[in-house]
Structure 1
Amino acid sequence: MNDAQLAAWLTLSFTPRLGGVALARLMSVDSPENLVQYSPLQWQKLGLKSAQIQYIQQEAAPEVERCLHWLQHSPSHHILTPLDESYPHLLSQMSSHPPVLFVKGELAAVNSAQFAMVGSRHASLDGLRASKEFAYQLAQHGLTITSGLALGVDGHAHDGALMAHGKTVAVLGSGVDQIYPSRHKGLAERILQQDGALVSELRPDAKPRAENFPRRNRIISGLSQGVLVVEAAERSGSLITARYALEQNRDVFALPGSIYQPGFSGTNQLLKQGAILALNPQDILDELNPALSRSSYDYQPVQTQLNLTQQATPEITVNHSQPLPFPQLLANVGNEPTPVDILSQRTHIPVHEVMMQILELELAGHVISVPGGYILNSGNKPR
């Protein structure tokens, strides 16, 4: 697709209130290049409103030009349409697949065998630990871990895949140049450094908006062979992803939780409704292996269980030009394992706040979780 064709495609894709069905209908009438040259009367005959016609003829050009400039800025920038060979095959099978997909990073990651992991932004420590451990082991067995870069389960899933030196894909509810939440900018950089990818159907400079996040969930599940809901309350957005997955004929897995913890009410309900119980990563691999072996992906069958305690210390790159987060807490972490309660005593910070801060420091690569507590990442000490 040349620049003129892509510009026409982007123009129609960005037109307000022009959904996938209407867009497909228009493109069955004529090519995008010809359509954007239509007169207002021709557009009216095709059913477009005056505001849509005004956008196509007067307002689209600068937005499209910024996207084309972004595409040319770096070889790691990609704009995919369903006509491209690199457009993810599983995603193209969705009835509501995005007409345009912006990818920052490696296209190979977006076209690899993916498995989605989603869950609460306010997950329990058990939920966060499970997110990281499941992602680590699934990545070790060749699956690319796909999630939404949010706080909580999403961030720990991405981090677990990176610790296993695997690939991970982050699907955003903003543009790929507008990382949200901002505290995950470091995590996004690590994803790109390790041949992963950031993906969005929104323009690269699009700001995060609340209504974007439920829609991005259909892309998370659509890219993936299956979805694991790690921890979710009764009204969690993760359940939206599970619903999309079912509509897309994907396997839905869930981790069980205490009936006395509201944060697990959603996952327990999924299990009651027929989701596949996942007590360990092997349960997922056993279910997915037959489907993956019939696909074109280079997937190796599982031979043995992994022991997370035997993992090597991850190599993590930290951008030291950025101010260090939580300096008071970081100053009290050394080369000897220090548990959370001791850090709380030293800093006079409540334990629950120490837990949240130390988890963010771990995601950013400043500290490492080891048996007995946390230590500084010796390869990335502040300079």
Structure 2
Amino acid sequence: MLNASAQRTGVALTERQKIAWLRLIRSDNVGPATFRDLINHFGTAEAALDALPELSRRGGSARAVRVATAADAERELEAAYRFGAVFVGIGEPDYPPALRQIDGAPPLLAVKGNLKAVTRPSLGIVGSRNASVSGAKFAAMIARDAGMSGYVISSGLARGIDTAAHRASLQTGTVAALAGGLDQPYPPENVALLQEITSGEGLAISEMPFGWEPRARDFPRRNRLIAGVSLGVAIIEAASRSGSLITARYAADFGRLVFAVPGSPLDPRCHGTNDLLKQGAIVTTSPADVLEALAPLSREDLFARLNVKEPAVEDSRSTPAAPDDSDRARIIEALGPTPVAIDDVIRHTELSASQIHLVLLELDLAGQLSRHGGNLVSLAPQE
């Protein structure tokens, strides 16, 4: 049994700060990366909120950007409290420490259940919705053994493999990542399972607003959460176009371990996992394969060793001066449809990092910028 738990570091947000953070992340064109840059640039969420309309205008927006109101944020906080959930900010002690490390981590997570689940190392287990009996049994074996060894099991509440993994780890701890709001679980037949998770040793998490019904394009964000909270992800029975492969890709991008269970070449449910093995995933034929590979990553000082960068602390710095029109034109000219590193834009234009980031924020809030993994940006395609 692991004796390790992640270090709980950070500072709790005040109620006023939490309302401002929720307003900011719920405003138009503000994603996690934009949120981070706004806080870094303006010092506080309240100052960033005041700047949104002017930033959007300078970026070329044809209409005023929608800024979430305090009443909107207060209604969502109230809905969370009624549901028995809370919001946890990225700088707070109860935020999942592994998730905090990834590029573009959600600034706020809605969570319900046992918050102690996020202080322990996690293993993600995902796979086919139409799982075979043997696939579901093997997923349960890994989840049960990993749970008994001290790992929390993370998955996506889907039918098949996800369900088997959650059920096998109800007593030891499991995290269910949702594609919609916490009050909109999918699929409906797993509502009772989610209740078992959140009323016991487990936890439900989501970055989506309360009342948000999940759509197809929301599930990759859910997969990203699973990979982000986990030290490694085990893939069991994934077809060639399975969403589980998206989870595996995120895990690899985040530097997590990727485990794949080999299957029959004649079973379409195994084509994706067999391809992962060809690409270098860890061959997994027993729970021991997973536990042995994870052991070096599960030391008590894990997150200190990885030198995690703490999120920006809010302060009351003065608002930086905006670049002039000629500098703004140089920055936009340096961008194009091909993603480029922000550091390369800084070197190319020879302007300051603060000027570059401010113009990128203007373009982003005006819907003129696309952000990509690895701190890459490009001009958004024009419709």
Superposition TM-score, scaled by structure 2 size: 0.72
Q: Which amino acid aligns with 2:152?
A: T
Q: How far, CA to CA, are the matches of 2:85 and 2:259 in structure 1? A: 33
Structure 2: runs of 5 or more not aligned: 1-12, 304-383
User: How well do the aligned residues superpose, as a CA RMSD in angstroms?
Assistant: 1.9
One-letter amino acid of the structure 2 residue matched with residue 131 of structure 1: A
1:117 maps to which residue? 125
Distance in 1, matches of 2:55 and 2:264, equals 60
Q: 4+ residue stretches of structure 1 with deviation over 4 A?
A: none
Q: Does 1:172 align with 2:178?
A: yes
**Does 2:41 correspond to 1:29?**
yes
1:216-245 CA-to-partner distances (Å, cap 9, x unmatched) read: 111101100100001101110000000000
> How much identity, in percent, do the aligned residues show?
38
Cα 1:83–1:261 shift into 2, 3 Å: same
2:30 pairs with one of 18, 31, 34: 18
Counterpart of 2:146, as a letter, is L
**Aligned partner letter, 1:177:** D
* Aligned positions, number: 290
Partner AA of 1:267 in structure 2 = T
Deviation at 1:38, TM superposition (A): 4.1
Q: Paired residue for 1:189?
A: 195
Q: Aligned equivalents of 1:123 and 1:176: distance in 2?
A: 25
What is the Cα deviation at residue 113 of structure 1? Answer: 1.1
Of the three residues 134, 141, 150, the one matched with 2:158 is 150
What is the TM-score when the length of structure 1 is the normalising length? 0.72
3-state DSSP of counterpart to 1:170? strand
Equivalent position SS for 1:16: coil
Matches of 1:193 and 1:4 in 2, distance apart?
Answer: 29
Give the 5 Å matches for 1:163-312: 165-295=171-301
Aligned partner letter, 2:16? A
Q: Is the 8 A contact 2:56 2:64 kept in 1?
A: no
Asked if 1:102 is matched to 2:114, the reply is no
1:287/1:27 CA distance change after superposition, 3 Å: same
Q: Kindly indicate whether the alpha-carbon contact (under 8 Å) linking 1:14 and 1:60 is maintained by their aligned counterparts in 2.
A: no
- Is the alpha carbon distance of 1:35 and 1:139 closer, same or farther for their aligned partners in structure 2, counting shifts above 3 Å? same
1:49 aligns to what? 61
Partner of 2:136: 128
Q: How far apart in 2 are the matches of 1:33 and 1:154? A: 40
Distance (Å, rounded) in 2 between the aligned partners of 1:78 and 1:172: 15
- The aligned counterpart of 1:324 is none
Which amino acid in structure 1 is aligned with residue 109 of structure 2? Answer: L
Higher relative contact order (CA 8 A, sep 6+): 2
Aligned counterparts of 2:172 and 2:38: Cα–Cα separation in 1? 41
Aligned with 2:30: secondary structure?
Answer: coil
CA distance in 2, matches of 1:224, 1:51: 40
Partner Cα distance (1:48, 1:151) in 2: 45
